[in-house]
Amino acid sequence: MEKVRLSFWQIWNMSFGFLGIQFGFALQNANVSRIFETLGAKIDEIPILWIAAPTTGLIIQPIIGYLSDRTWGKLGRRRPYFLTGAILASLALIVMPNSPALWVAAGMLWIMDASINISMEPFRALVADLLPSEQRTTGFAIQSFFIGTGAIIASVLPYIFTNFFGIKNVAPVGKIPDSVTYSFYVGAIAFLGAVVWTVAKTKEYPPNNIEEFNRNLLKNRGIIFGIKEIFNSLIKMPKTMVQLAFVQFFSWFALFAMWIYTTPAVTQHIYGTNDPTSELYNQGANWVGVLFSIYNGFAALMAFLIILIAKKTSRKTVHSISLIIGGIGLASFYFIKEPNLLLLSELGIGLAWASILSMPYAILAGSLPPEKMGVYMGIFNFFIVIPQITAAAILGFFVKNLFNNQAIYALLIGGISLLISATLVLFVQDKD
């Protein structure tokens, strides 16, 4: 079926749910290491506690992609999964900052990340479902804009609650500060509200032949068939997808290093403290939230500009240059001692983030068979979560045994990883 070009506002509405999804991810990325340290985790234990998040994505996303390819009902194909994930994630956001012990927080991260993944994967497939090839870059770029916008607000919420509303930013040992707790409550409301907007405002294409679609569901069903289908799709990945897998590995290794180690790196390297109950530590942790909001904000602004640059050059060129600048920005944390100068570093990271969220998906979508869009988007997530699992498995060992518990070296490794990714982009085949 030939796809109709959608208006800007139709693309806007179908992507709006990502605003809420990123509320959840940004609160998680900026605050979970802080929560873990507050509840007693040591610096070298943080990566393994984070391993739940990528592991969950590895399992959940291809399953949700496969199921959504085979779903059709009153809410369409992808929207039932948006809504289910949003409800579960919102509940998890409320519980997370009230965790009474470290093991509870680690378990809640697992639940929260699984729920976010249930919502997120179908959003990627929805853009490829509904938009013709020439609008896909725009669709993924608008998703990037909402990811950036949601993360700006979510990342800076503890800082706002502390500095503008006078809410406590320090708590007794084993307790999460109120500034963080209230931020998670706001995130729960934003997550559910944004996803409900997309569900209400977006219509999906029905299967070309609904009778044949239903017959195939009856004929090819069951867990064994589903596992076999996912495995066969993995084996038969398009060449472009294989090439992008290597790019994604080094990009997301760097991002995961940044997310789990920026708080301890900044509080140690710049604020000079390891004590999560101190005022100085919590000032540094709040500043990390501000830094994360800056890179996400710049990514939101650049999301539209990189579309224009890509049209004048190529998606590969834009992505490679963006990753180089991002790598320099992340590595520069090692050389900077003044907190305000880190804002400049975040601009480079923001450019890389904007490109990571849009260019690989725009390149990938044109190489995928439409009837397997969901399952392939889910499988593509393997190359996001495998590097995160790798980072979680080895960075703690490196930081403890090679770098004397100095977290700043994890960010330096992340910067180098982005530069490797930028080189690999040049070998990717980009054509529909």
**What residues contact 155, with CB distance under 8 A and at least 6 apart?**
26, 27, 29, 30, 289, 290, 291, 292, 293, 296
Where are the domains positioned within the chain? 8-425
pTM equals: 0.74
CATH class of the 8-425 domain in this structure: mainly alpha
**CA-CA distances (angstroms) from residue 103 to 52, 106, 291?**
12, 5, 28
Q: pLDDT tens across 199-236, in order?
A: 999 988 887 767 666 666 666 665 666 677 778 888 88
Work out whether the CA dihedral 82, 83, 85, 86 comes out positive or negative.
positive
Structure tokens at 318: 């834009």
pLDDT-based confidence at residue 50 (cuts at 50, 70, 90): confident
Residue type, 291: L
pLDDT digits (tens, 9 = 90+) for 239-293: 999 999 999 999 999 998 998 899 899 999 899 888 888 889 888 888 988 898 8
Higher pLDDT: 76 or 251? It is: 251
